[in-house]
Structure 1
Amino acid sequence: MSTPMWPEDSGTLSYHSRRALVQLLKGPMVTAQEHPQVWQAVVSDEEALRSCLHNVFLDLVLDEDAGIAFPRPAAGGQDVDTGEGKRAPMPKVLRTETLTHWDTLIILHLRQELALSAPGERVIVDRGELRDQVLLYRPDRERDESKLSRRFDAAFRRMVDYSLVRPTETEERFEVSPALRQIFDAATVEGVRAEYERFRVTEDDEDSADEGK
């Protein structure tokens, strides 16, 4: 048990581990590169932090090779055993964000880049090239380039805010967070990608039909 930090303190974590717990709950993630002291506390006190997160229905995802840690709903967010012979919904603790069409497309392409890389390899993407790939899936036959650019820019800024990409020393080039491997598994990515491929084929068919009239 740690030394009390104020008269009524009954906590059991050290100062640095408490800071780590706060950072994990604030999100979106702790990284060895950006939060070295907090990261060290996560690694050294992993068992105690995992237990604390379990108390609030969360699990700890820790990838030491990638240098990332973040919380996510325990047991996949499924119903839990109350200990009274009943099951109950797991309370939602973390703030959730609804992904837009453009958010989803960007994440799909970032996740694909990770899938093509070797474990531990830095994955760098060019913002302009990413934009060109994403705009292949423009919805509703949208042709307003300025509107498309604004939507892409807003979605890409969210990726930076979510810590899913971060700037590199080269302008317009960004490093993809390896956390995407943990957040979106291969099965999820393939399912979403299949839906978008069907969407694009449908759009192309409709365009061809219109041109034939």
Structure 2
Amino acid sequence: MTELDTESRAAQVPDPDEAAPSGTFVEALAVEDDDPGLFPGDTGVLPFEARRVLALLLQRRYLAAADHPVEWKALLTHQQVVSSRLHDLFVELVVDRDYEIAYKRQVRSDGLTIPVLLKDEPYKRVETLLMLFVRNRFRQEQGAGQAAAYVDAEEMADYALGFLAHDETNLSARRREIDNAVAALARERVLEEVATGRYRILPVVEILLPVDRLRELTRWLHGADEQAVPAPQPDEDIAASPQEADE
């Protein structure tokens, strides 16, 4: 570079001590992003919609488009980053677009010591019986072309009572057990009460009891001692959230 070039380039650099010409404005460039975040001290990087979906997935057993259409749309938009955040916790995101249900599943890998956030808890005996009953009803109504499947509490009670031992005498205790099982399936969002004693069977039952598992348990029930009904695992895909695991 020649001396003349150096002088010319230097002449183009404004003198910091020299006042700007009258009527001109020198805009200061922002050194860093002054975004205050969603709350004081917020260091998160996800937009609100993605954070809300992530929180709901951690809070609930599953997220259904029918119950949360706005959040379902946000999940599909931010699926990759939400899945990545769950992977940071050794949890997988499963999105079933056919049934429009999303749920989480505990990661398990040989050679890795992983803190388990999601518990694997089998359903109780009566809950298993009712799961089989409502799953069969759901399939029947689907096969008949019905948009939704419904079941009454009395139908479920009669079905479960039919598996009691012949010498059972404490029927009131068994009825309480059945009522508690119905309430548990309602909390799990397998059933939705639409009127007193009347329930809609939610599509998640298809995931909890896939066809092969349904057939296996049905065959077992028709050929085994009713006192030893094997409680199906909740397939870990609808396993409890970290909050539930501490209860």
Assess same fold via TM > 0.5: yes
Code of the aligned partner of 1:111: R
User: Separation in 2 of the partners of 1:144 and 1:189?
Assistant: 30
Are the counterparts in 1 of residues 149 and 200 from structure 2 also a CA contact under 8 Å? yes
Query: Does 2:31 align with 1:25?
Result: no
1:127 is matched with which residue? 153
Q: For residue 190 of structure 1, what is the aligned residue in structure 2? A: 215
For residues 177 and 167 of structure 2, what CA distance do their matches in structure 1 show? Answer: 15
SS in 1 for 2:224: helix
Among 149, 169, 176, the residue aligned to 1:143 = 169
Which amino acid is 1:123 matched to? Answer: A
1:103 pairs, out of 103, 118, 127, with 127
Aligned partner of 1:59 in structure 2 is 92
Conserved 8 A contact 2:57-2:104: yes
What is the CA distance between 1:11 and its match in structure 2? Answer: 3.0
Q: Equivalent of 1:199, from 206, 224, 238? A: 224
Residue-by-residue CA offset, 1:69-115 (whole Å, 9 max, x unaligned): 221224xx4x34xxxxxx23554222443421111111111222233
Q: Give the TM-score normalised by the residue count of structure 2.
A: 0.66
How many residues matched? 191
Structure 2: 5+ residue stretches without partners: 1-34, 229-247
Cα RMSD between the aligned structures? Answer: 2.8
Residue type at the aligned position of 2:128: T
CA distance in 2, matches of 1:128, 1:92: 38
Residue 41 of structure 1 corresponds to 74
After the TM superposition, which parts of structure 1 deviate over 6 Å for at least 4 consecutive aligned residues? Answer: none
Once residues 139 and 87 of structure 2 are traced to their aligned partners in structure 1, the CA distance between those partners, rounded to angstroms, is 30
The structure where helix makes up a greater share of residues is 1
User: Relative contact order (C-alpha < 8 Å, sep 6+): which is higher?
Assistant: 2
* One-letter amino acid of the counterpart of residue 21, structure 1: L
Between the aligned residues of both structures, percent identity stands at 23
Distance 2:214 2:69 in 1: 30
Alpha carbons of structure 1 residues 58 and 120: separation in structure 2 relative to 1, 3 Å:
farther
User: CA offset at residue 10 of structure 1?
Assistant: 4.2
For residues 5-39 of structure 1, what are the alpha-carbon distances to aligned partners after superposition, in whole Å with 9 as ceiling and x for unaligned?
35754433211211111111111222223333322
How does the TM-score come out when normalised to structure 1?
Answer: 0.76
Distance between the aligned counterparts of 2:185 and 2:205, measured in 1? 11
User: Counterpart of 2:138 in structure 1: which amino acid?
Assistant: L
1:162 counterpart = 2:188: yes
Please say if residues 137 and 200 of structure 1, whose CA atoms lie closer than 8 Å, have aligned partners that are also in contact.
no
> Residue type of the partner of 1:186?
V
| Conserved? CA contact 2:62–2:101, under 8 Å | yes
Verify the 8 A CA contact 2:163 2:226 in the aligned structure 1: no
Q: Which runs of no fewer than 5 residues in structure 1 stay unpaired?
A: 81-86, 204-213
